[in-house]
Copies of this chain bind each other. A is one copy, B any other.
Amino acid sequence: METRTEVLLTELREALRQPDGALQQLLEEYAPQDIAEALSMMDSPTEQAHALLLMDEAVASEVIEYLEPALVDEIFEHIPLEKAARLLQLIPADDAAQILDELDEAKAEALLQQMAPPEAREVRELLEYPENTAGRLMVRQYVRVRPDWTVEMTLDYLRQVGSEIETIYYLYVVDNRQRLVGVCSLRDVVISDPSKRIEQIMETEPVVVQPETDQEEVANLLSKYDLLAVPVVDELGRMLGIVTVDDVVDIL
């Protein structure tokens, strides 16, 4: 019996031989995780590169997020540098850093040069932290709110910025020096009276890690406290980023 992924692989190969519309339709039907799984089963990096090149860049980058970094590196041998750089800058910085980390230095540097400067800078910063630490895994996209905001203001703010931020299930409360003073879950915000202030509902002693914290310790903390993400702070307690549970779940 064919597995679901084998069926998709057959369909994918079929669609790649047909005009544009067929592939597009197939990609809309499946989750990027499924497409990544089918792609991983293809015979060669050439075939995989060919498939990725025919996809919309938005879809292709989502698929890349779910491929093994070592496989992405092989596929990138068969994709033009500018295209690879554009795909890399569409995926979260921590995933891009993991891919670049496996490449030889010259190739990684060439890709970083081609990436848009803000995205490249974020990836470079992550690469400065030692491997297997929270610093290397953290992302900068998180929701920052102020202690004196009301729940209503916060919900309005989330409506404005929420679509650009992947992880909005925790809101990080910072003072005017960017020091982390509390954490609210989205759940607490949603179930609270709209006139309440964030400082009335926030947890004031959240679990935090430092950028040097080993990824295994991060994984254990997330698992023990059933957290979806943990904030990374510097020695002055200022927010640097967050590590999300999906990035460490494989470590457990």
Which A residues contact B (CB, under 8 angstroms)? Answer: 31, 33, 37, 155, 158-159, 162-163, 168-169, 186-187, 190-193, 223-226, 228, 246, 249, 252
Please tell me if the beta carbons of B155 and A168 are within 8 angstroms of each other in the complex.
no
Q: A158-B190, A162-B191 are in contact. List 20 more A-B contacts (CB 8 A).
A: A31-B225, A33-B225, A33-B226, A155-B155, A155-B190, A158-B191, A159-B190, A159-B191, A162-B190, A163-B191, A168-B190, A168-B191, A169-B169, A186-B186, A186-B187, A190-B190, A223-B249, A226-B246, A228-B228, A252-B252
Name the 6 nearest CB pairs between A and B, nearest first. Answer: A162-B191, A226-B246, A163-B191, A158-B190, A33-B224, A168-B187
Chain B residues near A158: list those with CB within 8 A: 190-191
Give the distance in Å from the alpha carbon of A250 to the alpha carbon of B34 in the complex.
24
How many monomers of this chain does the complex have?
A: 2
Give the distance in Å from the alpha carbon of A159 to the alpha carbon of B252 in the complex.
35
Interface CB pairs A-B, < 8 A, 5:
A162-B191, A169-B186, A186-B187, A190-B190, A249-B249
Chain B residues near A246: list those with CB within 8 A: 226
Give the distance in Å from the alpha carbon of A193 to the alpha carbon of B160 in the complex.
10
Give the distance in Å from the alpha carbon of A131 to the alpha carbon of B249 in the complex.
25
Give the distance in Å from the alpha carbon of A192 to the alpha carbon of B155 in the complex.
10
Chain B residues near A37: list those with CB within 8 A: 224
When C-beta atoms are compared, the residue in chain B nearest to A32 turns out to be B225
Chain B CB within 10 A, most for which of A187, A224, A249? A187
Give the distance in Å from the alpha carbon of A237 to the alpha carbon of B23 in the complex.
30
Give the distance in Å from the alpha carbon of A188 to the alpha carbon of B177 in the complex.
31
Chain B residues near A226: list those with CB within 8 A: 33, 246
A171 to chain B, nearest CB (A): 11
A20 to chain B, nearest CB (A): 23
Chain B residues near A155: list those with CB within 8 A: 155, 190
When C-beta atoms are compared, the residue in chain B nearest to A222 turns out to be B249
Chain B residues near A33: list those with CB within 8 A: 224-226
Give the distance in Å from the alpha carbon of A222 to the alpha carbon of B124 in the complex.
31
When C-beta atoms are compared, the residue in chain B nearest to A189 turns out to be B190
A76 to chain B, nearest CB (A): 24
Chain B residues near A191: list those with CB within 8 A: 158-159, 162-163, 168
Task: For A162, give its contact among B159, B187, B252 (CB under 8 Å).
Answer: B187
